[in-house]
Amino acid sequence: MWWVVLVIPALFLSHGNLGVGILIYGISVAVLYLVSLGRHSNRRCRSCGGTGRHRGAMFTWGDRLCTRCGGQSRHRRWGVQAFYPGGKTWAERSAALARKRRGAPR
C-alpha cells in the first residue's frame, strides 16, 4: 500500500505526462530505497529464520549455532553491500555507539 504514496504525487507533479511521471516515481523510489538501506541495513538469516540457532534433525531439542550467520541471526542487505562496501551505515554506527554506552557508568 505504501507505493500509492509515491504514485499519486508523481501523477500530480507530472501533469498527465507519463514519461515525467515515471521519472519522478523512479527517482523517489531510489531515494527512499537508499534511506531504507541506511536505517535498516540488515535482514534475517534465511537459513535459521533469524534465530541464530540450527535445530537438530533427529534430536530436535538439540541445537547449535547457525553455520550461515554464525549465530548472529542477520546478514547485510544486498543494497548495503553494493552501496556501502567498506563503510558502515547510519544504523550500524548508532548500534556500535550504543554497545559502547551499555556498560558505561552514568
Domain ranges for the chain = 1-41+77-106, 43-76
Handedness of CA 6, 11, 15, 20 (dihedral sign): positive
Tell me the CA distances in angstroms from 52 to 20, 26, 42, 98, 99, one per residue in order. 46, 36, 14, 21, 19
pLDDT at residue 105 is higher than 70: no
* 48 Cβ contact list (under 8 Å, min separation 6): 54, 66, 68, 69, 73
What residues are paired with 55 via a beta bridge? 63
Q: Per the confidence metrics, is the pTM higher than 0.75? A: no
Among 4-8, 64-68, 71-75, 82-86, the range scoring the smallest mean pLDDT is 4-8
Task: Tell me which of 103 and 50 has the higher pLDDT.
Answer: 50
